[in-house]
């Protein structure tokens, strides 16, 4: 992708919001630091200000690295070295290539991503093989920087209010026009400055909680050498084995058996992750394609357990439909997965469902099993089960968990 394409990546609500939060918190913290602990007077003030600048630089460096370096993509037309290995891999019709182990096709990026973890709207890019380390470091540094900034906000508001309070016999007055105990005006601190500091404090605390939780989730999967998608595949493998009572034992093949070894698969001193993103070492006793074989089994199981539905109401494809009921409106799936528009009479193969929503594939060409399909969520009340379908007795995958 050229520089113009990279610039377009910034023109998305995710990066714009993320960078706005960083800018507001950093600029307000620097201004407040000058009020609370003037950096040119003491060594402590200088260290405090330099640390604040350092947090901002490191956060932005890792953020832009995760965004612009990208996850790394499977080469178009890629095939394994041994032709017989193609039996263990899925084929991507969009990229015209086989999906390498641990890779998945991203509908947002429209490419097969190496070791794909998820598509992150905040960086408007996928998190995967090449940028997993920088993305995780961003998730660590952002809360740490926000904690430091929050401390500065609190101390600034406390000291500035204290210097403006006048105690009388029967009342307490706050004069925001000037400080009473500090005659040297460095930066004006009025009511608007107080409101800005309070607003930035709320942003910093919210970012600390939200991003900190994401960091914990990422570290859990990294220490087991998994991705978020692979954790979900492992959970579905257990569900498939339990559902069919096959007696199989699925062992995740990429866990090296040591948290430190798993950690080094992502974080290296050079900053370049181990391997080439296409071939991965597996633990002893595991087949090199254990995970992809399990994915093929789950794909076949998905076709077996899918249920055919027919649309009985039109649905425009909006995220939160007002006309489909209050419960449908407020229980819309919290995901960036698409919604599919329905017209009365459309046929849909549902593969999973929630109480008021279902996910499936709209059959646009029902003449053949390999017809073109459009995937997405749709309201459950807009469809009814086809009674003539031979597979209608099968439960929709996920229903038994959600009911």
Q: Is 146 a catalytic residue?
A: no
Cα 314 from Cα 114, distance rounded (Å): 38
Can you list the alpha helix ranges (DSSP code H) found in 70-122? Answer: none
End-to-end CA distance of the chain: 45
Cα 170 from Cα 42, distance rounded (Å): 39
SS3 22: helix
Cβ neighbours around 379 below 10 Å, total: 22
Cα 362 from Cα 350, distance rounded (Å): 9
Cα 347 from Cα 342, distance rounded (Å): 9
Cα 155 from Cα 153, distance rounded (Å): 6
Where b means 16+ CB within 10 Å and e means fewer, 219-238 reads bebbbbbbbebbbebbebbe
Q: Given the residues 95, 120, 127, 146, select the one marked as catalytic.
A: 120
Cα 320 from Cα 70, distance rounded (Å): 31
Q: With CA atoms as reference, report the closest residue to 384 among 344, 351, 354, 352.
A: 344
Token representation of residue 194: 């107080």
CA distances from 118 to 24, 32, 43, 331 (A): 27, 37, 44, 22
Catalytic residues: 120
């Amino acid at each position: 992708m050229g520089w113009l394409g990279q610039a377009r990546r910034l023109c998305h609500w995710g990066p714009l919001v993320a960078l706005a939060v960083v800018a507001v918190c950093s600029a307000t913290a620097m201004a407040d630091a000058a009020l609370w602990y003037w950096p040119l007077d003491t060594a402590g003030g200088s260290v405090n200000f330099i640390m604040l600048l350092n947090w901002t630089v490191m956060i932005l460096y890792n953020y832009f690295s995760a965004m612009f370096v990208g996850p790394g993509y499977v080469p178009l037309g890629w095939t394994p070295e041994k032709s017989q290995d193609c039996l263990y891999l899925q084929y991507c019709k969009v990229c015209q290539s086989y999906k390498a182990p641990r890779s998945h096709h991203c509908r947002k990026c429209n490419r097969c991503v190496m070791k794909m973890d998820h598509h992150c709207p905040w960086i408007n890019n996928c998190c995967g093989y090449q940028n997993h380390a920088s993305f995780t470091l961003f998730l660590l540094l952002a809360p740490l920087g926000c904690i430091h900034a929050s401390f500065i906000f609190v101390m600034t508001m406390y000291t500035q209010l204290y210097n403006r309070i006048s105690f009388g016999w029967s009342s307490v007055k706050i004069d925001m026009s000037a400080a009473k105990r500090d005659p040297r005006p460095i930066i004006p601190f009025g009511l608007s400055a107080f409101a800005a500091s309070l607003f930035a404090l709320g942003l910093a605390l919210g970012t600390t909680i939200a991003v900190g939780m994401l960091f914990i989730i990422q570290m859990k999967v990294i220490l087991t050498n998994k991705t978020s998608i692979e954790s979900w595949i492992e959970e579905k493998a257990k569900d498939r084995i339990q559902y069919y009572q096959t007696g199989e034992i699925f062992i995740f093949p990429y866990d090296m058996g040591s948290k430190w070894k798993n950690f080094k698969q992502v974080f290296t001193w050079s900053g370049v992750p181990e391997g080439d993103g296409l071939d991965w070492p597996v633990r002893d006793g595991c087949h090199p394609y254990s995970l992809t074989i399990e994915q093929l089994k789950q794909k076949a199981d998905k076709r077996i357990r899918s249920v055919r539905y027919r649309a009985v109401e039109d649905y425009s494809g909006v995220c939160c439909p007002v006309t489909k009921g209050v419960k449908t409106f407020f229980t819309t799936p919290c995901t960036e997965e698409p919604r599919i528009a329905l017209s009365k009479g459309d046929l849909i193969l549902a593969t999973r469902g929630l109480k008021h929503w279902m996910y499936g594939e709209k059959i646009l060409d029902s003449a053949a099993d390999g017809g073109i399909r459009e995937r997405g969520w749709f309201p459950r009340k807009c469809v009814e089960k086809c009674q003539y379908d031979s597979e209608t007795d099968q439960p929709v995958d996920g229903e038994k968990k959600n009911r």
